Amino acid sequence: MEGFVYRRFAAVAKKEFLHVIRDWRSLVLAIAIPIFLISLFGWALNMDLTDVPTAVWDQSRTPESRELLSLFEGSPYFSVDHHVDSFRQLRSLVDKGSAMVALTISSDFADRVRAGKDTEIQAVVDGSDANNANLALGYVTAVGHIYNARLAVAATRSRGLGDPKALVTLEPRAWYNPDLKSKNVVIPGIIALVMVVLAAMLTSVTVAREWETGTMERLISTPIRVPELVLGKVVPYFVVGMTDVAISVFMSRFIFHVPIRGSLGLLFAASAVFLAGALFLGLFLSIALKTQVLANQIALFSGYLPTLFLSGFVFGIHNMPQAIQALTYVVPARYFIAMLRGIYLKGVGLEVLWADALLLALYAALMIFLAHRKMKLMLD
């Protein structure tokens, strides 16, 4: 039995390269997709909460209440735009959406603070957006802790109990993403999204196009073998895909300033493995369905939606129901995004990411095997 012949493989690859070049609309789209997606998600999908519209009803109007409010006004997380004189005005601002946080300081606030008594302020948060409401509540609580620490220092000094620096304080630190910028988490995941979209758009129509245009019969009549045809069909799109990975990495580093603390070589190697699996999945669907439109739609549905919702790209997997968490284990993008974040943010290598890398390699090998087995050089 004749083995793999490089010349026949090169001929198929050249044919696909020429098709890519001649179909300039698809080529421009393939280059534009990563630029569009990274720009869209990088600027629009911002999970950081800043300048929260805040309204205040200060019934105390004392130096103590003004000191507390100065913490809100000086914080980048709050924008104190409204000072009102009644609870009705406060509620109206929240109802209209003009304020997300409404603070009420009681008239006896200063007296209770001076007397060292427990003192409360009311913080009403618009909970119609649950995620932002939780963040806003966390920020309000943090400001409260800062104010309490100031009171504790002042009390220590006034009572002559020693150096206020000796007070026990909690100083939390966030490793890997110290500024807690959401773009540092979101943008690496976009690389996976870009690749599954490209794979669906490119390889899912290759063999189906041959059947629809009638050129598959000519290929079958030649001495070409399945490995030569399958590999020749994928290689040109692999080159396009890796070019898009390079564009994505360049934009993430130099436009959005996302740090790359790990190995750039490992980043591209992991991307190559994931891209190969995605491309051969698209090729498998193209072989099985033999219809360009249907193959493209199924490829988008099976690749884009699981990557967006079940990979941990946007929604934390640990927050999902147990049944959905189990389903995420069959989503290859879950492992690829874990590798991307490990390389980008943590700077770790295969000594930590080996399990994710192994599962990605198994996924790519399975897709190559399925595409090879499904490809039959014969007429039905």
pLDDT higher at 40 or 359: 359
Residue 1 pLDDT class (50, 70, 90 cuts) = very low
Q: Which of 142, 166, 190 is the last residue of a domain?
A: 166
Domain interval for residue 100: 52-166
Q: Are strands 78-83 and 52-58 parallel, antiparallel or unpaired?
A: parallel
For residues 323 and 347, membership in a common domain is answered with: yes
For residues 194 and 338, membership in a common domain is answered with: yes
pLDDT tens-digit map of 112-163: 888 878 888 888 898 887 778 888 888 888 888 888 888 877 777 666 555 5
Residue 379 in domain: no
Q: What is the pLDDT of residue 225?
A: 85
For residues 283 and 356, membership in a common domain is answered with: yes
Residue 171 in domain: no
For residues 75 and 162, membership in a common domain is answered with: yes
Return all residues near 92 (Cβ < 8 A) that are at least 6 apart: none
For residues 56 and 144, membership in a common domain is answered with: yes
Q: What is the CATH number of the domain that holds 95?
A: 3.40.1710.10
Q: Is the pLDDT of residue 204 over 90?
A: no
For residues 228 and 336, membership in a common domain is answered with: yes
The burial of 228, by beta-carbon neighbours within 10 Å (0-12 exposed, 13-18 middle, 19 or more buried), is given as buried
pLDDT tens-digit map of 262-295: 999 999 999 999 999 999 998 888 888 878 788 8
Closest CA to 13 of 231, 279, 305: 231
For residues 26 and 86, membership in a common domain is answered with: no
For residues 244 and 370, membership in a common domain is answered with: yes
Residue 293 in domain: yes
The mean per-residue pLDDT over the stretch 346-366 comes to 95
For residues 193 and 109, membership in a common domain is answered with: no
Cα(213)–Cα(291) distance, integer angstroms: 11
Q: What is the pLDDT of residue 176?
A: 82
Q: How many domains is the chain partitioned into structurally?
A: 2
For residues 263 and 314, membership in a common domain is answered with: yes
Stated as kind and residue range, the H or E segment containing 191 is: helix 183-202
Amino acid of residue 139: Y
Q: Does the pTM of the predicted model rise above 0.85? A: no
Residue 285 in domain: yes
Q: What is the pLDDT of residue 378?
A: 62
Amino acid of residue 376: K
Report the chain's C-alpha Rg in angstroms: 29
For residues 71 and 203, membership in a common domain is answered with: no
Q: What is the pLDDT of residue 2?
A: 59
pLDDT tens-digit map of 281-335: 988 888 888 787 888 888 888 888 899 899 988 888 888 899 999 999 999 999 9
The Cα angle at residue 36 between residues 32 and 37, in degrees rounded to 5: 120
Cα(136)–Cα(72) distance, integer angstroms: 12
